[in-house]
Amino acid sequence: MLFARKVWHLLVAIKDGLVLLFMLLFFAAIYGALTARPSAGLVRDGALLVKLDGVVVEEPSAQDPFGEVLSGDTPMKEYRARDVARAINAAATDSRIKAVVLDLSRFVGGGQVHMLELAKALDAVRAAKKPVYTWALAYTDDSLLLAAHASEVWVDPLGGAFVTGPGGENLYYGPLLEKLKVKAHVFKVGTFKDAVEPYIRDGLSDPSREARTALYASLWDNWKADVAKARPKAQIDLVTRDPVGWLKASGGDAAKAALAAGLVDKIGDRAAFGERVKAVAGEDSADQRPGAFAHVRPAALLAAQGENKSGGAIAVVTVAGEIVDGKAGPGTAGGERIARLIDEANADDAKALVLRVDSPGGSVFASEDIRLAVERFKARGRPVAVSMANLAASGGYWVSTPAQRIFAEPSTITGSIGVFSVVPTFEDTLKQYGVHADGVRTTALSGQPDMIGGLTPEVEQMLQTSVESSYGRFLALVAKSRGRTPQQIDAIGQGRVWDGGTARQNGLVDQFGGLEDAIGWAARQAKLDAWHPAYYGGSANPYASLLERLTGGEDDESGVPAADFAALVAQRQQALVGRVGSDLARLLTLRGVQAQCLDCPVSVPAASRPQRADWLALVRGWLAL
C-alpha cells in the first residue's frame, strides 16, 4: 500500500511538472508572437510588394487582439503612411530591389495628402530607373492617383477605373426631428460652422454651399493637376464629362474603357500581371503558383534599413483622429496621452519638437492640454514646428497655435475656427405618450441640463455665452500665433474651412511642405549639423504579429473584399447607413460645444472617458472644438 501511494505521488508530481512545462511553453509562444519582428535576413533579390488591403492613415488605431478574434470579423488593415513611404523610398536605393509592385485590389483609400506623399516616393523609384507596377480589380480616385505615378498600370479584365471627384451628399434630419418633436438646441458662433445644419435644416445653407464648393474645387484641381502631370495621356475630362458615353463607347466593358482613356496600360488577370513582374523581379522558388514572383514585404525591408540615431533628436509627436479627453489612442488623440508624450520629449531634452497633426478637432479641454504641453516645451527656448497632414481643423488648429512655423500641403484641410453645440431634449416627444416631467428646483440650474424636461432659459443663455467665450479664446490664440488682431482672424474664421493653398495666402499656414520639411526646419533652428527624428508614441503595434497569426498573415485577405463598380456602389451605400448611426450618436451623446466640419473626415472614438453626472462636469464635457 505504501509503495502504491509513493507511485501515485510520483505520477501526480510528473503530471504537475508537465502542466507547468506546457504552461511555460504556451506563454513563451504568446510572448514570441507579440514581440516577433521582421528579420533583415528576409530581404532577397526581387520586387518590393506593397499590398494595401485596407486604408492608409497617419496613425493606426489601437487594436484589441482578443476582441478582434472573438468578434469573428476580419479587421480592416491600417497602414501608416510614413512607413509605406519609407519602404518605397528604401526600394529606390536598395540594389536587391528590382521593382516596386502595388497590389491595390483591396485598397480602400486614404487622405489626399497621404496619397501625394506615396506618389512622391514612387517617383523616386522611377527616377532610380526601377519600374513601378500596379494591379487592381477596380481603380478609384485614391488608387488612380497612385497608379498615375506607375510605369505600368494593370487592371483585371472584369474591372475598370472610375473617377468620382471629391464631394457627395450629407443627410439632414431637421424635418424628421421636427416631426418627432425632438428639440435640437443649437449654440454656435461662426457663419460657416455647418456641422449643426443636419439637425436643424433639410439641406445646405448658402454659406455652407459657398465654402464647400470652394474647398472641393481646390482639392479637385489639385488631384487633376497631379494626375495630368504624372500621366499626361490620361483623359480625365472624357471620363468625368460624359461617363455613360465613355463607357458605352467601349461596349460597356469598363476595363477597355479605362484603357481607351489612358487610365491603365494593360488588361490582365493577377496571374498575367505576376508573369510580367516575374520577367523583371525573377520567380519565387518557394511558390509554384502561376504569376508568383520573387518579392519582399515593406516591414522586412524597413528592418534591414535600420533607424538613423545620429545627431540630435527632433521629437515628433502625432495628433491623429478626434481629440478627446483622457488617454485614448493611438488613432484617437487622447489629450492626456499626447500631453504626456510631449512632456516626455521635454524631459528627454529633445532639441526641437514637430507636432504632426491630422485631426478634425474635438474636446477644447484636451486640445488645451496639448497646447499647454507644447508651450512648456517651447518655454525652454527650443523650436517648435507643426506639420499638417490631411486635415488640421478646429481643435487640430488650436493645438497648432504655439508653433513658430506651420507647414501644410495644398490639399490640407485646415481652419474651421468656430464653435458649436447641439443639445437634444425630448419633452415634447414624450408628452405625446403621456410622459411629463415635473419637480422642485432650488435654482435655475437644479437638475440641468435636462434632456427629458428641457433646458431652462438661464441654461440656454449660459451655454451660448460659453460658446462665445470659447470662440473669443480661439480667436485670441490664433491672433497671437499669426501676428494678427482678433478682428482680422475673425474675418477668416467664422467656422470656414480652407484648403492649404488658400490658408497659406490668408496667413493661417507659413509654407508648403511635409513632415520631413518641418523636421529639417526645426533642426536648422536648433543649429544642428546632424539630427534624427525621435517618434514618441509611434512604436509599432505590439499585437500586430499576434493579430496576423490569429486573423491571417500578410498574404491572407483582409476584411475588405475586392470590388468591381457595382460592389463599389454597394459599399458606399453601406457607408451611408453607417453615417446615419454616427449622426445619431453625435446627437444623443451630450458632447457639447464642438468645432468640427462636415467636410472633414471625423472618426468616432472607440472609447471615451465618461463624464460625471453633475451639471458642471457635463458642461465641461460639452466644451469641445
Type of residue found at 160 = G
Place of cell 500641403: 409
Type of residue found at 458 = E
- Lookup: cell for 190: 461662426
Please give the C-alpha separations between residue 427 and each of 182, 197, 436, 443, in angstroms, as whole numbers.
8, 22, 7, 20
Question: Residue-wise over 156-187: b if at least 16 C-beta within 10 A, else e?
Answer: beebbbbbeebeeebebbeeebeeeebbbbbb
- Phi, psi dihedrals of residue 264, rounded to the nearest 5°: -130, 165
Please give the C-alpha separations between residue 241 and each of 161, 253, 260, in angstroms, as whole numbers.
15, 18, 15
Residue 378 a catalytic site member: no
Q: How far apart are CA 284 and CA 4, in angstroms?
A: 61
CB 136 within 8 A of CB 155: yes
State yes or no: cis peptide before 166, omega within 30 of 0: no
Q: How far apart are CA 547 and CA 75, in angstroms?
A: 9
Type of residue found at 327 = K
Q: Which of 394, 411, 421, 608 is catalytic?
A: 394
Q: Which of 193, 256, 278, 351 is catalytic?
A: 193
Type of residue found at 577 = V
Q: Hey, how many other C-beta atoms are within 10 angstroms of the C-beta on 114?
A: 26
Please give the C-alpha separations between residue 322 and each of 11, 509, 619, in angstroms, as whole numbers.
59, 21, 19
Supply the DSSP string of 391-447, one letter for each residue. Answer: EEETHHHHTTTT-SEEEE-TT-EEE---EEEEEEE-HHHHHTTT-------SSTTTT
Question: Residue-wise over 579-588: b if at least 16 C-beta within 10 A, else e?
Answer: eeeebeebbe
Residue 327 a catalytic site member: no
Q: Which residues are catalytic?
A: 193, 394
